[in-house]
Copies of this chain bind each other. A is one copy, B any other.
Amino acid sequence: MFTGLSAFPLSPLGRDGIDESAFIRLIKRLVSAEVDSICALGSTGNYAYLQADQRARITRLAVEHAVNTPVVIGVGALTTDEVLAYAEDAQEAGADGLLLPPMSYQPLRDDEVLTLYETVARSVDVPICVYDNPTTTRFTFSDTLHADIAQLPHIGSIKIPGVPDDPAEAAARVERLKAGIPKHVTVGVSGDAFAARGLNAGCDAWYSVIGGLFPEPALAITRAAQAGDGDKTAQLCDALAPFWMLYKQHGGSLRVIATAAEQLGLVGPDCLPRPLQTLDDAGRRSLDDVLNALNLE
């Protein structure tokens, strides 16, 4: 489950909370495209902004409509008690795996994060993907901490935030991380712009934002990497560079992907939770140009 393309769909909001039909539409796109797994309630799925009942609903819709595609559910929260409740609920709903970010408000210490993962690992029956993304969780993992966590039961994968630009350095970085963790624990790259570099450096999975909306181009990159064609992988990823540029201009991928989903008519307006906003008119024009130029639909 923690290999290949893991697609992260939005959790679009409508007038009265979750826009369920829009969410189902997004899930169905991923199933038709045959992504390797679907991760609902990741950062792109706005886990941090949703209420418990909304998270429960997204979880059930994802499991129901993913049919045979493995479903991973994000269970991050600021308190361990909430994480445990979300993990229990996700398992009850039939999730195949859990994504666990060390979400923080007060900066966390390493021992607090280790205890969090220990506590959750002891209480679950499905594999956990460790979510390492300092931009949103504001916690930076050391490789030592990754190694300590990876020894715990039920740890299945580590989602890393990116790799160095230089291919040799990237390969060395993935090798160093893998040297400290058990063989059954996979390493997946995130940060869409890093996809080819990460996959070519030996990552087993791509935890993908763009793959949550446009699974085909993300699958093409992933399959090229799995076939060992590093040049093609890089080429296909570089072709999407205008999209990565938009991420940079708009403070990350979320606002861009949400606006793209809206432009395509897949979600309604204002699908992000306030204070987060989708792109303004100028941003939308640039995005339209990029979507057209790249034939993304």
Contact = CB atoms under 8 A, between A and B. Distances in A.
A274 B106 contact: no
A131 to B, nearest CB: 13
A78 B46 CA distance: 11
B79 A277 contact: no
Given A49-B105, A79-B49, A107-B135, A115 B277 contact: yes
A108 interface: yes
Interface in A82-117: 102-103, 105-109, 111-113, 115-116
Given A48-B105, A107-B251, A136-B105, A115 B79 contact: no
A40 to B, nearest CB: 16
Nearest to A277: B112
A59 interface: no
A115 B274 CA distance: 9
A106 B42 CA distance: 12
Interface residues of A, number: 31
A116 B79 contact: no
Contacts of A102: 275
Interface string A222-262: 00000000000000000000000000000110100000000
A275 B137 CA distance: 14
Of the candidates A79, A103, A115, A251, the one having the most CB atoms from chain B within 10 angstroms of its own CB is A79
A80 interface: yes
A33 B111 CA distance: 37
A112 B280 CA distance: 12
Interface string A107-130: 111011101100100000000000
B275 A113 contact: yes
Contact of A80 (B112, B138, B274): B274
A252 B113 CA distance: 16
A149 to B, nearest CB: 13
A119 B107 CA distance: 28
A81 interface: yes
A115 B276 CA distance: 10
